[in-house]
């Protein structure tokens, strides 16, 4: 039996309510927010339920609400509370309810969205950012356990997320692993040696290890190529056209600012491409703010440190829709 509902899970402030409303307009489906539904039925705010009855009472209300939805709901968009998937029983119900999309955001992004919201009972503490980090770490495995798809909301625009959900609303595709390529340009092999205050103290082997672990985590094949020579980089891009590569992450280094030859090579290949920069190029020298290669790519990520590589990989995997 095909799954009919779209279910949005994720930490508070990850964008579930916003995406639910946008999807509702886009797909002409009704949206059900479990938190709002519980508040309406209880005649009081969640903060009041927590204060008067305790968290465990509220979690039981969530379970009862999900059980009812599994029996009655069809072709709806369901947005659930951030703590709903913590209960194993709830995770089983979510899987039965529909195709589950985990909207994943960084702790810093979440904090910026919710720091002024007084209706978050779990964040009424001295250091809400640390509380967010702690709760997210505790819940991560629960989110991933029941998710059909994981969407990095920091790496994709709202329209890209909406398109991805609409394309994959019928459920997970069982396909062969993707073949991805990471290209690093001049001086990237000197990570941990050059300008540590800008590029960090981790060396190139650390980056290779990060990407290797990402490949194991996703089950995809990720090849890494590095060269200090423009022609070698162009040759590798052209090879990708013939060897079955399905997505390219590229840090062109200084070639970013003037290599129209690399731009042309990238533009010749229609697979997804992401340009990555470790530092925030918008806050550096004027010449570094210019990228002649970015227009040949689908996205540019900068200022995220080495994590930007992982965000770029997630973007390509999400764009292709293969898990």
* Residue 52: half-sphere exposure toward Cβ, Cα within 13 Å: 8
263 in catalytic set: no
- Give the span between the Cα atoms of 81 and 30, in whole angstroms: 17
256, 291 Cβ separation under 8 angstroms = yes
How many CB atoms neighbour CB 201 within 10 A? 10
**Is residue 277 flagged as an active site residue?**
yes
Angstrom distance (rounded) from CA 67 to CA 94 = 9
DSSP bridge partners of 8:
79, 101
Within 10 Å of residue 2's Cβ, how many Cβ atoms? 8
Q: 102, 111, 143, 199: which is the annotated catalytic residue?
A: 199
Could you give the CA distance from residue 307 to residue 89 in angstroms, rounded to a whole number? Answer: 33
CB count in 10 Å sphere of residue 214: 18
Q: Can you tell me the distance from the alpha carbon of 163 to that of 39, in angstroms, rounded to the nearest whole number?
A: 31
CA–CA gap between residue 253 and residue 117 (Å, rounded):
41
Quick count: other Cβ atoms within 10 Å of Cβ 205? 11
> Which entry of 143, 220, 255, 277 is annotated as an active-site residue?
277
Label residue 197 left, alpha or beta by phi (over 0 means left) and psi (-120 to 50 means alpha).
alpha
**Catalytic residue ranges:** 199, 277
């Amino acid at each position: 039996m095909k799954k009919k509902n779209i279910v949005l899970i994720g930490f508070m402030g990850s964008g579930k309510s916003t995406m639910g409303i946008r999807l509702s307009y886009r797909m002409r489906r009704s949206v059900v927010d479990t938190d709002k539904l519980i508040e309406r039925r209880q005649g009081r705010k969640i903060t009041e339920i927590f204060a008067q009855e305790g968290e465990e009472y509220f979690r039981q209300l969530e379970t009862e609400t999900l059980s009812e939805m599994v029996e009655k709901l069809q072709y709806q968009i369901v947005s659930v509370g951030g703590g709903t998937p913590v209960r194993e029983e709830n995770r089983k119900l979510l899987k039965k309810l529909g195709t589950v999309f985990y909207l994943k955001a960084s702790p810093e992004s979440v904090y910026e969205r919710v720091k002024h919201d007084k209706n978050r009972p779990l964040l009424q503490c001295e250091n809400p950012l640390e509380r967010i980090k702690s709760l997210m770490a505790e819940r991560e495995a629960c989110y991933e356990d029941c998710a059909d798809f994981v969407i990095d909301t920091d790496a994709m625009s709202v329209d890209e997320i909406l398109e991805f959900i609409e394309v994959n609303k019928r459920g997970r595709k069982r396909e062969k692993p993707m073949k991805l390529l990471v290209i690093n340009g001049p001086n990237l092999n000197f990570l941990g040696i050059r300008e540590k205050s800008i590029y960090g103290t981790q060396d190139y082997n650390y980056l290779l290890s990060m990407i290797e672990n990402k490949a194991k985590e996703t089950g995809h094949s990720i090849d890494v190529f590095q060269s200090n020579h423009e022609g070698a980089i162009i040759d590798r891009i052209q090879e990708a056209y013939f060897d079955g590569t399905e997505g390219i992450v590229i840090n062109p280094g200084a070639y970013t600012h003037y290599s129209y030859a690399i731009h042309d090579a990238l533009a010749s290949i229609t697979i997804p491409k992401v340009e990555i920069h470790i530092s925030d190029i918008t806050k550096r020298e004027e010449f570094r703010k210019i990228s002649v290669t970015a227009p040949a790519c689908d996205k540019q990520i900068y200022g995220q440190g080495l994590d930007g590589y992982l965000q770029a990989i997630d973007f390509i995997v999400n764009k292709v829709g293969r898990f």
